[in-house]
Structure 1
Amino acid sequence: MANIMNSLYNMRLLDDLARQETLIHKLHPLIKLLTTVSFLTVVVSFGRYEIDGLLPYFLYPVMVFTLAELPLKPILLRILLVSPFIIGIGILNPFFDHQIYMLGGKEISRGWITFLSILIKSGLTVTAALLLIATTGMDRLAGALRMLKIPRIFVLQLLLTYRYISVLMEEVARTLRAYSLRAPEQKGVHRSAWGSLAGQLILRTFDRAQRIYEAMCLRGFAGEYHTGDSKEIRIWDLAYLAGWVFFFAVARIYNIPMLIGSVITGVIR
């Protein structure tokens, strides 16, 4: 029960973080969405052996974390949740790519370079997506998607799916609480009750969804979700987008770590 309630709290934490009033939170949602999309596009465009070129892009999440005053631990925990899938995808590369790569005078398999590249890319992209939600919120993000002319049905499905996950978990918590009150000495749910509890959960979820939909219709819902956020794009918003896009482009065209290394070695000599 405690684990489910903690999961429900953790799901709502991103929405709570999005209500802050920091410099990043005050940016227009469309600007933050376009900046994140630009970041993701550039990061995934790197080749599988270009690890050093990815290093400058750590500046973006670090700056957003700092300016948005976000807690580091909750974001990192969410990144760790998807890390097993990332590792599962990339762990086979060292077994198939046996070409030798010289790193610091030592021989290393290119498969390990590819594996490390996958980890870095995945970490950067997942972090950027979480930061977008934590500084914007799903409601404003949905409004930004509609401004980009994304079909209404896709935006609505995305938003309602995100909302109904918490509804489902609330029903799970209530069902398990009722079961524990009727069997206080039993640890967990006995396997003989799994089927009936699953059926009750489905029926309760359908009933809850119907009541939510009826409440939405009574409030004027007609297939379009209105976020109520209509603030205009300011000069500062455009400057934020232009600055980051310029940095992403420069870091993609030029290998900044290699340039810095050349300058340092030149000075030492």
Structure 2
Amino acid sequence: MEAKVSAKTKMVLLTHPNNPTTTVYNRKSLTALANFVIRHDLILVVDQAFEDFTFGNEMITPAALPGMFERTVSVFSFSKGMGFSGLRVGYVVCSDKVMDAMFANAVAVLGATSTSAQKAVVTAMQHPAFMQQFEDAYEVRRKKAFEIINSIPNVSMLMPQSGFLCWVDVSKLGNSSDIVAYLVKEAKVSVNDGVNYGPGGQGHLRVVLGVYKDDEKVIAALNRMKTALIAYQNTTETE
């Protein structure tokens, strides 16, 4: 980052917890980033959409670090933690100075969130057990995904640290775009190509575990992926 910063640099964008890798950045890493931001007089914009589910990993808000509140824009979302992806309800926390500048533009560009969406969020917040059900379900699914994916030869993943995602390494099998197309055709499973998240994503798949309400359907889809990825390797070896 020191090599990239210049007189034109105004801000740093951080996704924490990370999407798609699920990484929850630790205090040491965030403190180093905070020192960098302060040293170069920058603004830090943090996307914390997946903060609700970190499975025991310490979730540190960068704005809470010394000297960071005045120069941090923290962006939060109810879409992920409450399963309200279609409602598009979120909020921003930042200093009055930054908020005044943002508000003038946001009102003109974004308009307002619908009343029904806001009421749905308020109702969910009044029932903590609702969110606990989500976390319990994802806890089961991430462990099952870890077990199934890592049982596939030449395929691996780390235990997800947050959210309802898996970041799967298929680099030993070849081009991830080809594998995505193969999984749709042969396993009837749609996953995200890692290259959509940057050049470093080549050879990786982003797998979402939150599509089905029923755990068994998620597990069945993972097992179809396993069967297809084993078959894919046999096919490429034959060719």
TM-score (norm 2): 0.23
Higher relative contact order (CA 8 A, sep 6+): 1
Give the strand-richer structure, 1 or 2.
2
| Rg larger in structure | 1
Give the helix-richer structure, 1 or 2.
1
TM-score (norm 1): 0.21
